[in-house]
Amino acid sequence: MIEARDLTKRYGDRCAVDGLTFTVRPGRVTGFLGPNGAGKSTTLRLVLGLDAPTSGTVTVMGRPYAELPAPLRTVGSLLDARGVHGGRTAHQHLTGLAASNRLPRSRVGDVLDRTGLTEVAHHRVKGFSLGMSQRLGIAAALLGDPQVLILDEPVNGLDTEGIRWIRTLLKSLAAQGRTVFLSSHLMSEMELTADHLVVIGRGRLLADTTVRDFIETNSRAHTLVRSPEPERLRELLQAKGATVRPESRGGWRVDGLDAPVIGDLARDHGLAVHELTPVHSSLEEVYTALSEDSAEYRTPPEAIR
């Protein structure tokens, strides 16, 4: 369990995390979503005691990270997969970590197996692909057999097979009753991996809900309609207050009136309709719309020439 209460972090006059309150519960995968610069990494650093909050609190299994008696046995994390000394082998890296955290040496073999790295255990890390480095980072996170796992963008740069592997692993760890919290700016991946979402923008909480509820609450339906008399249809729809835009594959995209109303309107005016399709936005579209207003880094208009 991770609990943040009014968590705030300021760097000078910039507020990276702004009064965040959320709870990450065990037994499910919770996705931490937000556009670039939203404050995800800063929040994770606060959870892991790598930075101190300006105000507010955050605890892991009921205690601030700094007060955990054996941190690696409680919480495993992957923040930067490339942060390992390249001259060491995977085995040496994990053995060193086990020794300095008083973890049994036998765990090294276990986590190498679990992450599929046994064959390359004695290879130097500097020769590792990004995917292998991510696996090593996850092996290190699992070393203390922790109840809580925190992963910052774990699928970045992975191929399809690597992404599938992480997805399966995280789901199985959650199914064992662990707390799994992973950040990403990739909505499509979260849709497949997470059960629950914490969504932030500009350091503030935008949503804390199940994936299904997030879609249902924020999804904006529209209707695709096609008629052999498109201009007449457009005028009728606009007169009823609908927003009508041309659809890239032909016809109109109509917001503000649903399909039965559009169909009845056309019939009442003797207009033929050749297509009438209700369209629900995908999770990706929902997220993009929600985070658009809060995106930290967008190309300023003057840069588009």
Ligand X SMILES: Nc1ncnc2c1ncn2[C@@H]1O[C@H](COP(=O)(O)OP(=O)(O)OP(=O)(O)O)[C@@H](O)[C@H]1O
77 binds ligand X (CB under 6 A): no
Q: How many residues bind ligand X (CB under 6 A)?
A: 13
Is residue 38 part of the contact set for ligand X (CB under 6 A)?
Answer: yes
Residue 296, token pair as written in the block: 């930290």
Among 37, 131, 146, 154, binds ligand X (CB under 6 A): 37
Residues 6+ apart with CB under 8 A from 283: 187, 188, 190, 191, 211, 214, 215
Residue 288 neighbours by CB distance under 10 Å = 14
Distance (Å, whole) CA 147 – CA 194:
17
50 binds ligand X (CB under 6 A): no
Retrieve residue 111's tokens.
């986590």
Task: Dig out the tokens for 230 from the structure.
Answer: 């498109």
**Least distance (Å) between residue 156 CB and ligand X:** 10
User: Is 234 an interacting residue with respect to ligand X (CB under 6 A)?
Assistant: no
154 near ligand X, rule: CB under 6 A: no
Q: Residues 180-199 vs ligand X: string with x where CB under 6 A?
A: -----x--------------
CB of 183 to ligand X, least distance (A): 7
CB of 126 to ligand X, least distance (A): 24
- Are the CB atoms for 289 and 241 separated by under 8 Å? no
Residue with Cβ nearer ligand X (156 or 282): 156
Of 11-19, 61-69, 143-151, 158-166, the segment contacting ligand X by CB under 6 A is: 11-19
**Binding of ligand X by 7 (CB under 6 A):** no
Can residue 99 be called a binding residue for ligand X (CB under 6 A)?
Answer: no
Q: 119-148 b/e with 16+ CB inside 10 Å = b?
A: ebbeeebeebeebbbbbbbbbbbbbbebbb
In whole angstroms, what is the distance from residue 5 CA to residue 71 CA?
21
Interacting residue ranges for ligand X, rule: CB under 6 A: 11, 14, 16, 34, 36-42, 185, 296
